[in-house]
């Protein structure tokens, strides 16, 4: 008998669109690779907070009879609703998601494990405000693109007349993504090989990044999966760029590549996550 897996997506806020996309990718991945064992059930929360199952409006309590487990790609507050209904669920915890949404909170929280985060200014008034806080080069992030600028004039042009601009300190070094999954391949917390990262890493550097990823996983209370993007500087300082709690299941993603490197497929890990709930 197929296990019914609800894929919860939507909600509201800045992650609405990405939640729709990630949830859709999980639905497609399960259908194409694990369809014999699992039946995906599309659960959409629209911007008015109305819940739908396969397009039909429902009360959240109705889910108790429609699914066996839920994979939440939306806001972690919805996981609390699922838990109140005694529905097993996969997704980011409220604390770790709060850290993901607040770089300052995350910055303070990870000091104890020796991690740093690049400094940033959100929607600066002018280039001078950025220049006085940290020097060039700067990473400019907007809704549509990410650019690197090196001069004050370029910084001024990148900021002026634009909304929702984030200016971030550029950290020179080797960039690596480390994927962590608990209770996989006989380990309490398994970290995948670095795969095609931006740099050649020594055995000692690989061990440093793996241990840092494990410390981060435990420190912020993740339950099922964590991708940690790091920069390792020439002086062996580790900076955290970002974290993600939903694996990228697209073909040829970095996650799919590291799975291949150990003789596994992405759906093997997805199945492991589903069975761990």
Same domain, yes or no, for 177 and 100?
A: yes
Same domain, yes or no, for 125 and 208?
A: no
Q: What domain count does the chain have?
A: 3
Cα-trace Rg, the chain: 20
Confidence of residue 114 (pLDDT cuts 50, 70, 90): confident
Residue 46 shares a structural domain with residue 76: yes
Task: For residues 125 and 248, state if they share a domain.
Answer: no
Q: Are residues 100 and 201 in the same domain?
A: yes
Average pLDDT score over residue span 195-200: 75
| 138 and 70 belong to one structural domain | no
Do residues 164 and 177 both lie within one domain?
A: no
Claim: this prediction has a pTM higher than 0.85: yes
pLDDT surpassing 80 at residue 14: no
DSSP string, 215-277: HHHHHTT--S-EEEEEEE-TT--EEEEEEESS---STT-HHHHHHHHTT--HHHHHHHHHHT-
* Residue range of the domain that includes 196: 96-116+173-275
Tokens of 219: 């420190």
Instruction: Give pLDDT, residue 66.
Output: 96
Judge if 177 and 234 occupy the same domain: yes
The predicted structure's pLDDT at residue 129: 94
Compute the average pLDDT of residues 170-192: 96
pLDDT at residue 94 is higher than 70: no
Torsion angle (degrees, nearest 10) of CA 91, 63, 40, 2: 110
Residue 180 maps to which CATH number? Answer: 3.30.470.20
pLDDT above 70 as % of the chain? 96
Q: Among 90-99, 128-137, 201-210, which is the least confidently predicted range?
A: 90-99
Chain-wide mean pLDDT for the chain?
Answer: 91
Residue 147 has pLDDT above 80, yes or no: yes
155: which 2 tokens? 């910084």
Dihedral sign for Cα 235, 109, 247, 21, please. Answer: negative
Q: Domain check: are 86 and 103 in the same one?
A: no
Whether residue 246 is found in the same domain as residue 183: yes
Residues 269 and 246 in one domain: yes
- Read off the pLDDT of each residue in 170-194 and give the average, rounded to a whole number: 96
CATH no. for residue 87?
Answer: 3.40.50.20
**What's the pLDDT tens digit per position in 237-269?**
999 998 899 999 999 999 999 999 999 999 999
Give the model's pLDDT for residue 96. 56
The DSSP line for 121-174 is EES-SSHHHHHHHS-S-EEEE-SS-EEEE-SHHHHHHHHTT-SS-EEEE---SE
Strand partners, 54: none
d(CA 38, CA 5): 7
Residues 104 and 125 in one domain: no
Most confident of 6-15, 92-101, 251-260: 251-260
């Amino acid at each position: 008998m197929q296990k019914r897996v609800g894929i919860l997506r939507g909600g509201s806020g800045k992650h609405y669109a990405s939640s729709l996309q990630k949830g859709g990718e999980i639905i497609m991945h399960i259908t194409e690779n694990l369809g014999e064992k699992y039946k995906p059930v599309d659960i959409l929360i629209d911007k008015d907070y109305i819940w739908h199952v396969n397009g039909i409006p429902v009360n959240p309590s109705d889910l108790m009879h429609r699914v066996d487990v839920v994979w939440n790609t939306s806001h972690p507050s919805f996981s609390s609703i699922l838990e109140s209904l005694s529905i097993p669920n996969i997704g980011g915890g409220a604390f770790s998601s709060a850290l993901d949404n607040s770089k300052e909170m995350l910055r303070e929280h990870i000091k104890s494990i020796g991690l740093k985060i690049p400094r940033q200014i959100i929607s600066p008034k002018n280039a001078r405000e950025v220049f006085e806080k940290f020097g060039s080069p700067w990473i400019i992030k907007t809704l549509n693109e990410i650019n690197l600028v090196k001069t004050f004039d370029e910084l001024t042009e990148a900021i002026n007349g634009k909304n929702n601009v984030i200016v971030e300190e550029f950290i020179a070094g080797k960039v690596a993504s480390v994927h962590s999954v608990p209770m996989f391949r006989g380990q309490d917390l398994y970290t995948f090989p670095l795969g095609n990262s931006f740099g050649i890493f020594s055995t000692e550097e690989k061990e440093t990044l793996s241990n840092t990823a494990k410390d981060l996983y435990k420190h912020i209370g993740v339950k099922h999966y964590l991708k940690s993007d790091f920069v390792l500087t020439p002086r062996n300082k580790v900076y955290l760029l970002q974290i993600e709690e939903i694996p990228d299941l697209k073909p040829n993603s970095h996650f799919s590549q590291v799975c291949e490197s150990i003789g596994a497929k992405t759906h093997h890990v997805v199945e492991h996550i589903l069975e761990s709930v």
